[in-house]
Amino acid sequence: MSRKNINIGLFGFGCVGFGLYEVLLKTPGLKANINKICVKDKNKSRPIDAGYFTYDKDELLNDESINTIVELIDDADAAFEIVKTALMKGKAVVTANKKMIAEHFTELLELQKKYKVPLLYEAAVCASIPVIRNLEEYYDNDLLESLEGIVNGSTNYILTKTSEDNISYADALLDAQKKGYAESNPILDTGGFDAKYKLLILLAHAFGIVLNPEEIFNIGIDKISDLELKYAREKGYKIKLVAHAFKTGLNTVSAFVAPRFVQAKDKLFQVDDVYNGVVLETVFTENQFFLGKGAGAYPTASAVLSDISALSYNYQYEYKKLVSNKSVKFNNDFTLKIFLKYEVDKVENLRLYFSSIDESYQNNTVGYLIGEIEFIHLQKLSRIEGVSIIIDSVIPSSVIETDLANVLKNEVESLV
């Protein structure tokens, strides 16, 4: 198959934008070049020829010689207007803006269909890990049982520092901010929102479910204290912020984002620093593990480059699961085992939320409960001041619609 020329209009020239410029120079086999770059700050010094730059977005969007828009800016609202306009003008789009995609997923689907142009966003989730393309192409059937992943490099770096250096959450956060891994206001990462946006995208490609961000429950790591960190060290656990999506029945899927105790036998245990890791569980092949850098100029630029290369072959997402899995519904009716820390002077009667309690502890200021709880009660507990929650495990439901593995096994045996 012959490759078409890709003429790029680039929005944004920060770390990732400059990284893309550099990797394009080192990829001569790809027929792609940057025609023009739109930036906001007129006074900022930049390391390439000033002739590349403009401050007028319409100069890129109205240029008929530009057939591909690459959007790499921080502002999700401005990014959506750029992407929407580009698609309406028949230009292919590559973006890394997971917040923009998550907040406008349905409209972006409709725009792609109406104007018959592709929108690719591998870099929006896990940067260097090609998880979206794999879900689209390799797992384009109903064999997926679950997906779980560390999808935010900033929080993973913070939690790695608390584990390896035996320091407090506050000190680890400060270190991450000094190194540029966390913003001065880090709540988008530490509150679990960034991971939620990424999980929303993964849900569409893994299970064919399109949700609004507010429909996915998220707890961050911002309430973790020395008590939880000490407990994890004593047990030989690590705490990781994990995005979960899993089948609770033949036609139901659940999903949420929360910190979790991870044991040494778990594949996510060794995913440290700014790395991301994704574990897919299937009916016949069991677990498959993806590992790679989830942040940084070159890992993200590499994912953008991969999408540009795919466009040169006229690739686009087919959203196969959205077509084949229309009967699958979102349902958060399940039970978990959790570690609940509480401040004694702020809360009481927390035991009433639990189905059973395995362990408890309390001193004059703080205490914890470990036990089973229904997800609906977990959501209520998360809103109580003075409470911190870490997931121990998801408990399989005692009432499953149909065991998917047995259904598929019987179907296969009937063909032999």
How far apart CA 91 and CA 65 sit, in angstroms, is: 10
Taking every pair of C-alpha atoms in the chain, what is the biggest distance, in angstroms?
Answer: 72
Cβ atoms within 10 Å of 362's Cβ, excluding its own: 11
Q: Rounded to 5 degrees, what are φ and ψ at 257?
A: -125, 130
How far apart CA 76 and CA 57 sit, in angstroms, is: 15
Element spanning 290, H or E: strand 286-293
Element spanning 201, H or E: helix 193-207
Element spanning 125, H or E: none
Is residue 320 part of the annotated active site? The answer reads no
In the sheet that 32-38 helps form, which strands lie side by side, from edge to edge? Answer: 53-54, 32-38, 6-11, 68-71, 92-95, 119-120
253: helix, strand or coil: strand
The first and second tokens of residue 229, run together, are 């960190």
Active-site residue (options: 57, 198, 293, 341): 198
Positions marked active-site: 198
